[in-house]
């Protein structure tokens, strides 16, 4: 009896070890990535301080104190006035000590506007991958460059854990203008309210629209319709829209080029045509009528964008005109009605 039990236990433990070995073999990279992200996220969560405590601290600078009070107002407005999900997000503060925290890698096919996607349990697939470690982000980026992809690495100024954790205010957020601070908080709270699995482009476009319109409404109520804060923000947004629309038109032209390659076109031919078109898109930035066109054009001439750059604009802004039409026509300029309808149509994770 004892011998049979011993053999049975050995079989059970052997099976468990075998399954674990298979899981590590198949999903080892994903597990290691998840553990690394969890470590970075928990470091932030465990070292974040309650906003009320930071405000009351006599060593807190007046600038930080004023910005935290403003962030509290924005958070309250977003939840009470706009109807974004009630949560404890942005009730804590994390001091970045001047350091960037999140590095986001995106990759795209070199001769097609097709993004590389990474799949994760529960939350679905994403056309980007974030790291708390810049070295790991650059290693990931270089791997995809070597595989022939167009790659972009950017710093994320904020992100949402989709309601799973208590997202803190990050200290670098407080360097933004009143409007930009309102926009990023409302943008990320939108993700915590509505997030459709495997629909990143919809999620980001919706959060962009709600963030920008919500910021305008907050500024108008907080400072007044003709306030310098609102005028400055809307002027900056209009400049951004002019530039973004130019890049989106450029993405359409690139897509048309990629869809019409001659059958015998080799990679050298494709690369030449692609570069010529991107240079043309960049060189015509100076013809746009918006503040900063020379600065934008000069920067992109020095750092010629690739497909991953154009994909980032499609990801966040391709659907803005559609949302604007819905907002004006279907919802009669009522952002709360639009948001409520989206919540009913698209239950979050």
CA proximity to 101, closest of 75, 69, 137, 71:
137
Q: Give the predicted TM-score (pTM) of the model.
A: 0.89
C-alpha to C-alpha distance for 92 and 68, rounded to whole angstroms: 10
Between CA 54 and CA 48 the distance in angstroms is: 10
| Cα 275 to Cα 35, 108, 131, 311, distances in angstroms | 39, 15, 30, 16
291-327 pLDDT tens trace: 877 778 888 999 999 999 999 999 999 999 999 999 9
What are the residue ranges spanned by the domains of the chain? 2-47
pLDDT of 16 over the 50 cut? no
Confidence at 122, pLDDT banded by 50, 70, 90: confident
- The residues near 24 (Cβ < 8 Å, ≥ 6 apart) are 31
pLDDT at 294: 76
At 156-182, the pLDDT tens digits run 999 999 988 999 999 999 999 999 999
Element (DSSP H or E) covering residue 220: helix 200-223
Q: What is the DSSP track for 272-283?
A: HHHHHHHHHHHH
């Amino acid at each position: 009896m004892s011998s049979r039990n011993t053999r049975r236990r050995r079989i059970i433990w052997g099976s468990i070890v075998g399954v674990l070995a298979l899981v590590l073999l198949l999903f080892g990279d994903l597990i290691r990535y998840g553990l690394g992200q969890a470590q970075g996220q928990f470091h932030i969560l465990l070292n974040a301080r309650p906003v009320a405590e930071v405000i009351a601290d006599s060593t807190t600078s007046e600038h930080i104190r004023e910005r935290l009070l403003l962030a509290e107002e924005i958070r309250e407005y977003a939840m009470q006035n706009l109807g974004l999900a009630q949560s404890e997000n942005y009730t804590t503060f994390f001091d970045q000590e001047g350091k960037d925290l999140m590095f986001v890698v995106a990759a795209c096919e070199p001769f097609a506007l097709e993004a590389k996607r990474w799949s994760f349990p529960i939350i679905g697939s994403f056309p980007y991958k974030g790291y708390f470690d810049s070295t790991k982000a650059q290693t990931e980026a270089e791997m995809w460059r070597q595989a022939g992809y167009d790659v972009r690495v950017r710093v994320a100024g904020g992100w949402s854990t989709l309601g799973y954790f208590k997202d803190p205010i990050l200290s670098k957020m407080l360097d933004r203008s009143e409007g930009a601070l309102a926009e990023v908080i409302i943008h990320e709270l939108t993700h915590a309210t509505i997030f459709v699995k495997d629909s990143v482009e919809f999620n980001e476009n919706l959060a962009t629209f709600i963030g920008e319109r919500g910021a305008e409404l907050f500024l108008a109520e907080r400072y007044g319709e003709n306030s310098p804060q609102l005028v400055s923000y809307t002027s900056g947004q209009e400049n951004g829209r002019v530039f973004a629309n130019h890049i989106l038109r450029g993405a359409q032209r690139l897509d048309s080029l990629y869809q019409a390659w001659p059958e015998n076109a080799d990679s050298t031919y494709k690369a030449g045509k692609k570069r010529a078109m991107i240079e043309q898109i960049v060189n015509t930035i100076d013809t746009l009528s918006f503040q900063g066109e020379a600065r934008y054009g000069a920067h992109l001439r020095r750092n010629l964008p690739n497909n991953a750059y154009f994909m980032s604009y499609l990801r966040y802004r391709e659907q803005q005109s559609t949302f604007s039409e819905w907002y004006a026509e279907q919802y009669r300029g009522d952002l709360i009605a639009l948001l409520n309808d989206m919540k009913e149509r698209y239950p979050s994770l």
